[in-house]
Amino acid sequence: MADASERLTRLLGLVPYLTRNPGTGIATTANVFGITPAQLIDDLELLFVSGRPGHMPDDLIEANWEGDRIYVANADEVSVPVRLSSREARALLIALDYLAEVDDVEPATIARVRAKVSAAAALSPAGGAVDVRVPERPAALQAALAQARARGEGLALDYYVAARDELTHRLVTPKRLRLAGAWYLDAWCHTSRGPRTFAVSAIRGFAPAPVPEVPAGAAAGAGGPRDEGLGVALTFTPEAAWLADELETTAVDYDAAGPGTVRAQLRVHSREWLTRLLLAHGRHVLAVEPPGLAADAARIAAQAAGRVD
């Protein structure tokens, strides 16, 4: 399958190249595409049976290579090099920005490739330059992590938990900073006595602090099950989809109830907090799971409406 895919990619590049460089020699062309002359001849023979649906003589690509010179005709549909779609370009740019965060990757190389991808996307049929940036690495927190490791210390965090509208204080042994759409800190939380992942955007302050040893056999990282609180799922309209980025979610499903909608799963530690959230954004909440959780908000809203009347 890989050989077939590579050959198709080569053929899609071969026709535009020969169309723009008529009469190029077999050896020169083979060298350009990194194949042997025999492989090139095999590709040219395949072009004879390639073309538009119908497979009539005037539907097929014409390839001639008599006298060591190659000429291609009747190939207008594939005579233009394949361009990146806007979606493909964005995916490549995001991947490049992730690579840029790896310490042993040369930044200048990433910058050059990024510029080429952006330029190629601007020439695509969709038009318009494409530019995507991932969040910058939190330099101050990264320096604090390095210092804590060097000294054998941990960090004291002031961490805002949106699910219960509370500023908490955690003592952690940090493991790493991780980029997954946004920046996260993986650590062993001595306060919660388990591995935790902290959203960097919710860290309100941090300072070096002495910590006890991590329990034997415990991984100072992410992935511990979040068994505290009540599991809730909220489905938002497109207008309120941004809330999924603001809440401390455990899972997010896009287009769950139609284009642009978002179903966000989270753990709620305070029903009062959930009630306030539903009162503030209820008109943009399509569904609440479990359904009974919306009852308090509906009751308070009805009472408020009665007072107004």
Span 202-219, pLDDT tens digits = 899 999 999 888 876 655
CA distance 266 to 231: 6
Residue (of 242, 241, 297) closest to 268 by Cα position: 297
Output the six-digit token pair for 265. Answer: 């799963």
Q: What is the predicted pLDDT for the residue at 276? A: 81
Strand runs labelled E in 162-274: 166-179, 183-189, 194-199, 203-209, 230-236, 249-254, 262-268
Among the ranges 39-43, 113-117, 118-122, 139-143, which has the highest mean pLDDT value?
139-143
- 273 to 20, 208, 233, 270, 277: CA distances (angstroms): 65, 31, 14, 5, 6
Output the average pLDDT for the chain.
75
Higher model confidence: residue 283 or residue 235?
235
Query: Do 182 and 199 meet the contact criterion of CB atoms below 8 Å apart?
Result: yes
Task: Quick: pLDDT tens for 150-188.
Answer: 888 999 999 988 767 789 999 999 988 877 667 888 888
Using an 8 Å Cβ cutoff, are 16 and 79 in contact?
yes
- On the CB side of 150, CA atoms within 13 Å amount to 6
The pairs formed by 10-16 with CB atoms below 8 angstroms and a separation of 24 or more are: 10/35, 10/43, 11/43, 11/46, 11/47, 11/50, 12/78, 12/81, 12/82, 13/81, 13/82, 14/43, 14/47, 15/47, 15/61, 15/72, 15/75, 15/78, 15/79, 16/78, 16/79, 16/80, 16/81
Q: Which pLDDT score is estimated for 157? A: 93
Name the percent of the chain lying above pLDDT 90: 8
* 107-122 and 86-100 helices, crossing angle to 10°: 170
| DSSP 8-state class, residue 202 | G
Angle between helices 295-308 and 271-281 in degrees, nearest 10: 60
Q: Fill in the amino acid letter for 234.
A: L
Q: In degrees to the nearest 10, what's the CA dihedral of 299, 300, 302, 307?
A: 140
User: How large a percentage of the chain has pLDDT more than 70?
Assistant: 70
